[in-house]
Amino acid sequence: MNLDKWKMRMASISGYAVKRKNHLSVFSGKASAAQVLIWVATASAVSVVLISVDIDPVIVITIAILFVANVALVARAERRRDLREGRIEATLRNVAENSIRNSREYRSLEKREPSILEGELSKAVAVAVTPPESHDRISPPALVVAKPQDSGTSALRPVNGVDWAVERQILPRVVTRTDVAGAYRASRGTKAEHVTVAIICDEFTHNSFAPEFATVPLSPDMWREQMEESRPEYLFCESAWAGVDPVARPWRGKIYGSVKFPYENRRTLFEILEYCKLQDIPTIFWNKEDPTHFSDRVNDFVDTASRFDYVYTTAEECIGEYQKFMGVGRVGLLPFAAQPRIFHPLPLAPRRDRVVFAGAWYRVHEERARVTREMFDAIIGSGRDLAIYDRDSGIDSPERGFPKEYQNFVHPAVSHAATAELYRGSTIGMNINTVTSSESMFARRVFELAASGSMVVSNYSPGIERYFGDSVIFLDQVPGALGELDEKTVAEKALQGLETVLESHTYRDRARTVLTTFGRKDLSRTQLPTLAFMVDSIQGAETACGMYRRRASEFHKLLLVVDASIPSHRVGEFYTAFNDSMCSVISARLASRQTVDPARLIETPDLLLVRSQIPSKAMVRRMVLHREYWLGPIVEGASHELAWGVSHPGKPSLISAADLLSLVLQPQFAVPALEVPSA
């Protein structure tokens, strides 16, 4: 046979085999039986041809072996190149998508909404390009990373001569931004959305608990239908005066007992309790009127509480009294709190230098009325503006109207939700307590003012001092204190009060307390962030790992972000050296070629992105606290108060996992960020 013709035939056969291998091995990462059969058959055919032209059999066997080896080596090189350049992934995705679009199942979905159709197509395509060993995952994995072996061998296992784990991590699966946003819509602790709670309460309480679990406000007339339809897990009832609707007031006079009533006014409530008993639905009563009404038999909430399975009180000093008839283990403390979804300091607009009070005047409470007068006079005497929003402005009663000397400062009432805007517009908020001796019971107004970023002034309460320390000024003890405060002190005390609430006095904390009673762990605290360290050398990565080990208790895991200046062929060195159970690696250069799904790479909703130094422990804690109400980037600021700034890769930032790549891949862009004062 002519030597030139032989070379042409070898090249032709080799090229065909390589194409077949690239086509078939995408799905498995291994040489399939079909591939081996093709190689053997081709080698056999060549051997027959060569023998037929009287060539020595030893030479024939040698040529056949060299042929198979040539095919394997060329195929390996071609596959590695195609993987790096993303051609196999893109080609297979197109093939899979076209196949799915032409399928009967896809055509049956054409009548649905386009967004739903495209979403299902995306999922199907993702599954189609997943290696077979990953098909048992609930969702298609973006990364296929081997677990470290006990023997100490590399976690990057070779498959068919290719570091498949590395290649798959370098070229993650494409996901849409909608998918990313959905995975990280909430970067705080989880909400117990699947926990359904039938609730009987007033407007403020419902607004506070509604963001934490699925609430079903019961109606006295339709409660049975509501219970049958919603199938709640728990019944939560508070010492309600009116009900969720402040106008219709459906539960007015139906929760508390009274010696003045010649009939039983709580029959509807008792029917609900009997229904819950038959359906094995635990019942909880929250008495927020303690200790004032504990011994009150005209507005007797205590007798009502005794008929429930569990009782929570706002007054710690009443727990022992409840235990006398409820028993130990069925009574607990549940103080007021704030809901950061409603009460928060944003948007950080300029505040008026004034003192705002949203409340009512109670002439029947003589001591309260006297202290209120003294505080109003102290505020006016300090030269600060005073704004009174009369909660009872719609009630025509001489007992509930503010005195004439303060009428120029009085404004009509606003809704509970609008109260938050009111607080955010003022530097200082005033509180007045009717109960002044409780260790835990005081007006919820204190929590809500503090959560809104206002400094709080109040009359003295041991409970306020216990929870808020010196961030609250007691005007009845130091009437001239307001005149001595400068702008910086007001801002510092306001921040201190805000962070006290965010730390442990939100309604997520209170909901967690209630659910924990039943062994539930549906509501989690904000997770520790992942530490994302940008590195541009092996030495820099080693330094980052050392810094992480010294601060490991503050973070969930370490993520090394390899700088885009590192060539693609060197990225594998970082994976080999650092990728393990507590450290992941991602290349900025390679990630820029395809969209990376953060949910597959990062296990926490948030991460702290740093380049050289990790902020102090106190600073990290402060950043995480403010995550309760702001999902954008959070950075350390130079001011003594909250402010707006910018975030970029060179500045330590607490960011959402969904924002990682946009910040890393577009370092030239500055992103709006919340600046919190240095700790």
Give the containing element (helix H, strand E) for 359. strand 352-359
Burial 90-114 (b: 16+ CB within 10 A, else e): bebbeebbeebeeeeebeeeeeeee
Rounded CA separation 32/36 (Å): 6
Tell me the DSSP string of 575-599.
Answer: HHHH-BTTEEEEEHHHHTTS---HH
Q: How far is CA 559 from CA 80, 582, 609, in A?
A: 26, 9, 9
pLDDT of residue 417: 79
- 283 in Cβ contact with 425 (< 8 Å): no
Rounded CA separation 562/580 (Å): 16
DSSP state of 632: S
- 240 in Cβ contact with 200 (< 8 Å): yes
Rounded CA separation 540/546 (Å): 10
Rounded CA separation 240/209 (Å): 14
Q: Is the domain covering 192-333 a CATH 1.20.1420 domain? A: no
Rounded CA separation 610/623 (Å): 13
- 386 in Cβ contact with 380 (< 8 Å): yes
Nearest to 554 by CA among 652, 642, 632, 421: 652
DSSP state of 369: H
CA dihedral 266, 272, 273, 279 (to 10 degrees): 170
Locate the domains of the chain by residue range.
Answer: 192-333, 352-504, 530-665
What phi and psi values does residue 195 have, to the nearest 5 degrees? -95, 110
- 543 in Cβ contact with 537 (< 8 Å): no
**How are beta strands 472-474 and 634-637 bridged, if at all?**
unpaired
Q: CA 293: distance to chain centroid? A: 39
For residue 61, the one-letter residue type is I
pLDDT of residue 277: 97
For residue 179, the one-letter residue type is D
Order across the sheet with 583-587: list the strands. 583-587, 558-562, 530-535, 606-610, 653-656, 634-637, 671-677, 643-647
Nearest to 35 by CA among 11, 68, 63: 68
- 496 in Cβ contact with 456 (< 8 Å): no
Nearest to 260 by CA among 220, 205, 206, 297: 297
For residue 427, give the 3-state DSSP assignment.
Answer: strand
In 86-136, which residue ranges form alpha helices assigned H by DSSP?
87-101, 104-108, 114-128
- 76 in Cβ contact with 14 (< 8 Å): no
What is the block-wise mean pLDDT of the chain (679 residues), using blocks of 10 residues?
42 40 39 58 66 67 71 60 46 53 53 49 45 32 30 31 31 34 41 85 95 95 96 97 93 94 95 97 96 91 96 97 94 97 93 94 90 96 95 79 93 88 96 94 97 97 97 94 93 97 96 89 76 94 95 94 89 90 88 71 89 94 94 90 83 88 72 89
pLDDT of residue 104: 52
Q: How far is CA 381 from CA 40, 335, 374, 592, in A?
A: 100, 34, 10, 62
**Architecture in CATH for domain 352-504:** 3-Layer(aba) Sandwich (3.40)
| Interacting residues of 141 by C-beta distance below 8 A, sequence separation 6+ | 130, 134, 173, 600
C-alpha atoms less than 13 angstroms from C-alpha of 476 in its C-beta half-sphere:
16
Rounded CA separation 83/88 (Å): 6
- 644 in Cβ contact with 578 (< 8 Å): no
Cis peptide before 291 (omega within 30 of 0): yes
Q: Tell me the β-bridge partners of 410.
A: 388
Ramachandran sector of residue 459 (left: φ over 0; alpha: ψ -120 to 50; beta: rest): beta
Q: What share of the chain is helix, strand, coil (3-state, %, to 5)?
A: 45, 15, 40
Record the pTM.
0.71
Which tokens go with 279? 């359906």
pLDDT of residue 598: 65
Q: Do domains 192-333 and 352-504 have the same CATH topology?
A: yes
Nearest to 248 by CA among 199, 285, 304, 202: 202
Which tokens go with 263? 């009939």
For residue 236, give the 3-state DSSP assignment.
Answer: strand
Rounded CA separation 291/71 (Å): 86
Rounded CA separation 188/530 (Å): 13
- Name the residue with tokens 């931004």: 177
Which tokens go with 256? 């508390």
pLDDT of residue 24: 38
Nearest to 534 by CA among 564, 505, 563: 563
Q: Tell me the β-bridge partners of 656.
A: 606
- 579 in Cβ contact with 585 (< 8 Å): yes
- 382 in Cβ contact with 483 (< 8 Å): yes
Tell me the DSSP string of 443-499.
Answer: -THHHHHHHTT-EEEES--HHHHHHHGGGEEETTT-TTGGGG--HHHHHHHHHHHHH
pLDDT of residue 11: 40
pLDDT of residue 175: 34
